[in-house]
Amino acid sequence: MWRRSYYQDYFPADLLVRWLSYSFQHNKHLFERRELSFTLDNEVYVRYQSFESAEDIRKVLIQKLPVKIDIGAVYNYPPSSQSLVTLFTPVEREFILDIDLTDYEEVAIVNSEDEVDLCDKNWYIIAAAVEILDNALREDFGFRHILWVYSGRRGIHGWVCDERARRLSDECRDSIIEYLTVRLPPGLKEISVQGENFNTLLDDSMKQWNTLGVPFLKRSFDYLYPLFVKYIVQNPRFFTDSNHLKKYLSLLPSNYTAQIEYLIESSTADIDLWKRIEEILSEPKKSSYYGFIVCLVFHYLYPRLDANVSRHMNHLLKSPFCLHPKTQRVCVPVSVKEIWNFQPSRDAPQVSDGNLHHLGNDEKFLHAEKIMKDFIENFEREQKLETINTNEQRLLDRGDFV
Amino acid sequence: MQFPETSFSSPLSDKKNSKRHFLQYEPQFYVHCPPNEAPIESLWEIASQRLELLQEIDRLRSKGTSYQELTSGIEKFLFRRRHQSEYYSYENIIPDRLSDIELRDVFSHFLLRLAFCKERSGQVWFLQNEAVLFQWRLENAPSSQVDLLVEQLQQLCSEENIILRKIVKNLDLEPEFVQLYHYLYQKLPSSSTLLMYQIPFEQVPELVKHRSVIVRSGYAYLFSEQLNSFLVSCFRSFLSKSLGVVRKMEHLAEEHGQLKLLLESLRESQRLYINHFSSYSFEATEREGTGIHLQDLPQAMLDMPLCMFRLMKRLEQNHHLKHGARLQLGLFLKGCGLTMDESLHFWKTEFSKGGISSDKFDKEYAYAIRHHYGKEGKRASYTPFSCMKIIQNRPSAHEEHGCPFRELNSASLDVMLQSYGIQDAESRNSIVQKAREGHFQVACGMTLQMKKAGRRTKLSEETTTPMDNAHYIPSHPNEYFFKSREKNETSLKS
């Protein structure tokens, strides 16, 4: 049974424990209060598991052979003794993000029957999302330790591990998620493929997008626009397929729609066509419809976050190095530097009976372990430095520093 | 410690009467209650005055008044108060009357804090209205006083290791600050340097949420225009925390006989206020013979407020409603005049269409209906829910009760309004808009008005008289119902 031997010989339980201990002194008091949750074969959830060591985890993994391992919050007591205490409550938890390509179905420009294939070909959506979010979390919110993990099928998870992030109240989690969420005019999503002229209310809400007054949105647009041109506009299907540009044209006043439709019919689908459409929409200067383009760029590429995952401390999220129950792919950590080159079908090892004994030498698997290890070591190094600095400061303050 | 009251100047103190009411005193966080003594009569007086003002604020707020109207409402109230106290002042009767204006403010605040800490609903009510009072005072306070508050806040923050810093930004180097300032205030900053307040972003979740601040490296940068709302939110969070603390020690105050009496009387007058304000006495209408009976129900449906209309529709379609919805609708129908036997008949007929046998109905549902009418259990006759109660009683995912203006998303609300008879898309849109802004009762009042407007134009095209209930804001579904019917009858006659 390959799952048993994966847990026995390959699953890096020691890395998991070391990561979740958040301690350069390898102090495990945080880890002991962390909830792990297992999903068993028959869809049975076993919640509130907690462990003292990597060996401990491995033993139970081999015994229960869960199809999925989730990580929950750190509680005030070890979750396994949950039933014995009166006040049992989560005290800290990474700030987590979840993006899934399933939420992008109507804008994924490459269609394919094959789900796996779909994920590879539309990975640019995930890559752009990761870059935008990673940048905002670092530059705006000042976080430094962000781990991105491929979700095993068609998405990615982000774990913000700074102590400050782990301590955020639910209210603050919500405020960050809202900050990072862009709400477009609802017509973009609700529009029918037949494309009957939607309603006039939309015009105004779209015009608000002509200027991006909020610096964060402006920055995001400036980042996304070249990617939009590269991945969406350069794909001829964008113009020809009735599910793309043509569908959204019905949101514009009819004289614009007619003009642009004529243009599409009479020219080749390329970047020049796009430039001319942009020109049409930018006129007249005073009340142009450039907001339409801004909306499209956000609609196609801006991260669509599953906000409920992030809002509450006690939400569960699949553990790194867990096997995805459907694809059997390892949920490998991905470094932001490599996000554009990552190809799920190629770079996430798939576990099956046949290949299991190779896993020990599998470059991809070893590389993933290295990313995880580097992440942990980086965290521990900074924590150590910080401790030294504060201790020094304390000595200085006391004045008996020789 | 006695201050001459005239030494305080503020834009609020009117020139003729330099004596300022203690409820107009400078804003503060009420961190400490000084250990001074005060005659109990004075405490009664100041505490009940403060409570009255908070109730006035609450009344104004629930009408959905704008901030300006709220402000002038508060000013009017205090003006009246000041005149009254000239006649009824205890000053001449009680020699050691508590005359220090600051102490009167602080004591009255702490007394109400004690009175309201006991129950969650009381805490919330007190917190919300005190926060409005604080905000109103803050906006009228001189800038020196605001600086003082910031200083006080810095001290309070440093106890919790939060750093609030005043910094000056050179805007030539920071185009993003200019951009955001222009976006928020539709104008450019008046100089190239700007005073800003730097604070960890965790302290201003509301501002972060709406992207109304620049967030950099974990700090939010507030424009001085945003300082007031930040101070109000600090006030709220301090008060909320301390209410929790006071609650644990409240029994100490109760040990003091006279104080206990005072606190109980405050709670009693609050109970009276809440009952008067939020419960609608339906018996009166029943006596007047405007109640409806079983045969009127189908026709009366369009007079029901949306929260009930929705449940009636759902019942028609599914022949079943969940408990919360049955309670909400059942009590409403009772309030409309349906007798218990009629109610039993109504529910039984509807449920039987959905395949619930008469036997099963008698066993599982009839009890609850008799219970509504006070014929079972503790034999209390239950009153129909008020708007407040319906708005606060939020349904879980698969339940249908609650206030539709709050619970439905824009699209479903729009559809619901259409089936309610509001054909004009623009009207529907403005109602949905109000509901999205959180003014559920205002949206509901507009619905009634627009439904009428639609019907009236159909009846007689020429009459374009403005509606006399243009600003009607319902506070109870049964009140809405009778108001709607009353209008029908008059318009049919004319």
**Burial of B85: CB neighbours in 10 Å, binned 0-12, 13-18, 19+:** middle
DSSP code for B384: P
Same-domain status, B294 and B427 = yes
Same domain (yes/no): B191, B325: no
Instruction: Tell me the three state secondary structure of residue B371.
Output: helix
Q: Does some domain include residue A395? A: no
pLDDT of the residue at A367? 95
Confidence of residue A151 (pLDDT cuts 50, 70, 90): very high
Q: Which of B205, B218, B411 has the CB atom closest to A175's CB atom?
A: B205
On whether both B173 and B107 belong to a single domain, the answer is: no
What's phi and psi for A350, nearest 5 deg?
Answer: -105, 135
How near does any CA of chain A get to the CA of B207, in Å?
8
Average pLDDT of span A273-289: 86
Task: Choose the final residue of a domain: A276, A301, A326.
Answer: A301
The nearest CA of chain B is from the CA of A176 a distance in Å of 6
Residue A15 in any domain: the answer is: yes
**pLDDT of amino acid B378:** 56
Catalytic residue among A32, A70, A94, A100: A100
Residue from A32, A70, A94, A98 carrying the catalytic annotation: A98
Contact B209 A179 (CB under 8 A): yes
* pLDDT at residue A22 tops 90: yes
Q: Of A250, A269, A301, which residue constitutes the final position of a domain?
A: A301
- Is there a domain that residue A402 lies in? no
Q: Do B359 and B430 share a domain, yes or no? A: yes
Q: Is residue B328 part of a domain?
A: yes
Interchain contact, A140 vs B216, CB within 8 Å = yes
For residue A366, pLDDT over 50 is answered with yes
What's the pLDDT score for residue B290?
A: 66
Of B481 and A173, the structure prediction assigns the larger pLDDT to A173
Higher pLDDT, A358 or B268: B268
Whether B126 and B204 map to the same domain: the answer is no
C-alpha–C-alpha distance, residues B464 and B292, integer Å: 30
Given the residues A32, A35, A162, A380, the one annotated as active site: A35
Tell me whether A190 touches chain B (CB under 8 Å): yes
Tell me, yes or no, whether B366 and B468 share the same domain: yes
Is some CB atom of chain B closer than 8 A to the CB atom of A139?
Answer: yes
Q: Are residues B196 and B344 in the same domain?
A: no
Report, as an integer, the average pLDDT of A156-181: 95
A272 catalytically annotated? no
Lookup result for tokens 């222009």: B182
In a domain? residue B172: yes
- Please tell me the predicted confidence (pLDDT) of residue A139: 96
Count contacts between A and B (CB, < 8 Å): 57
Residues of B in contact with A186 (CB under 8 A): 410-411
User: How many domains are there within chain B?
Assistant: 3
Task: Give the model's pLDDT for residue B284.
Answer: 43
Is B292 a member of any domain? Answer: yes
Domain assignment of residue B64, yes or no: yes
> Could you report the per-residue pLDDT of B207-230, keeping only the tens digit for each?
999 999 999 999 999 998 898 888
Q: What is the mean pLDDT of residues A364-373?
A: 95
Residue A396 lies in a domain: no
Task: For residue B355, report the phi and psi dihedrals to the nearest 5 degrees.
Answer: 90, 15
Tell me, what's the pLDDT at B9?
39
Does B63 score more than 80 pLDDT? no
B211 contacts in chain A (CB < 8 Å):
179, 214, 216-217
Q: Which residue has the higher pLDDT, A38 or B160?
A: A38
A399 belongs to a structural domain: no
Last residue of a domain, one of A275, A301, A327: A301
A370/A228 same-domain check? no
Q: Is A35 a catalytic residue?
A: yes
Estimate to the nearest angstrom the gap between the alpha carbon of B360 and the chain centroid.
42
pLDDT at B12 (0 to 100): 42
* Same domain, residue pair B241 and B310: no
Q: What is the pLDDT of residues B324-361, one digit of tens each?
A: 898 899 888 888 888 888 888 888 888 888 888 888 88
pLDDT in tens, A231-275: 999 998 999 888 899 888 888 888 888 999 999 999 888 899 999
What's the rounded mean pLDDT across residues A360-366? 88
A368 pLDDT exceeds 90?
yes
State the pTM of this model. 0.69
A186 and B411 within 8 Å at the Cβ level: the answer is yes
A143 min Cα distance to partner chain B (Å):
7
Q: Provide the residue range defining the domain that includes B258.
A: 19-141+236-277
Domain count, chain A: 2
CA distance B11 to A401: 55
State the residue for tokens 């709302």: B229
Is A92 designated active site?
no
Highest mean pLDDT among A375-384, B38-47, B431-440: A375-384
- Let me know if residue B282 belongs to a domain: no
High-pLDDT (> 70) share of chain A, %:
94
Tracing tokens 């304390």 back to the chain, one arrives at A394
In a shared domain, residues B29 and B127: yes
A200 & A315 share domain: no
Listed in sequence order, the residues at least 6 apart from B492 whose beta carbon sits closer than 8 Å to its beta carbon are B459
Q: Last residue of some domain: B277, B309, B338?
A: B277
Identity (one letter) of the amino acid at B418? Q
Alpha helix locations (H) across B319-393?
A: 323-336, 340-353, 358-364, 366-372, 387-392
Range of the domain at A269: 184-301
State the complex-level ipTM: 0.91
- Please state, rounded to an integer, the average pLDDT across all residues of chain B: 80
First to last CA, chain B: 69
Do A84 and A155 have their domain in common? yes
**Are A50 and A170 found together in one domain?**
yes
What's the confidence (pLDDT) of residue B276? Answer: 65
Convert A110-173 into a string of H (helix), E (strand) and C (coil).
CCCCCHHHHHHHCHHHHHHHHHHHHHHHHHCCCCCCEEEEECCCCEEEEEECCHHHHCCCHHHH
Same domain, A51 and A166: yes
B355 torsion bin: left (phi>0), alpha (psi -120 to 50), beta (else): left
Q: Lowest-pLDDT range, A54-68, B398-412, B434-448, B473-487?
A: B473-487
Residues B116, B59: one domain? yes
Contact A77, A19 (CB under 8 A): no
pLDDT at residue B464, as a whole number: 39
Q: Using alpha carbons, select from A31, A151, A169 the residue that is nearest to residue A95.
A: A169
Q: Per residue in A292-314, pLDDT tens?
A: 999 999 999 999 999 889 998 98
Cβ-defined contact of A214 to B183 (cutoff 8 Å): yes
Supply the pLDDT for residue A391: 87
A168 plus A246 within the same structural domain: no
Is there a single domain that holds both residue A188 and residue A251?
A: yes
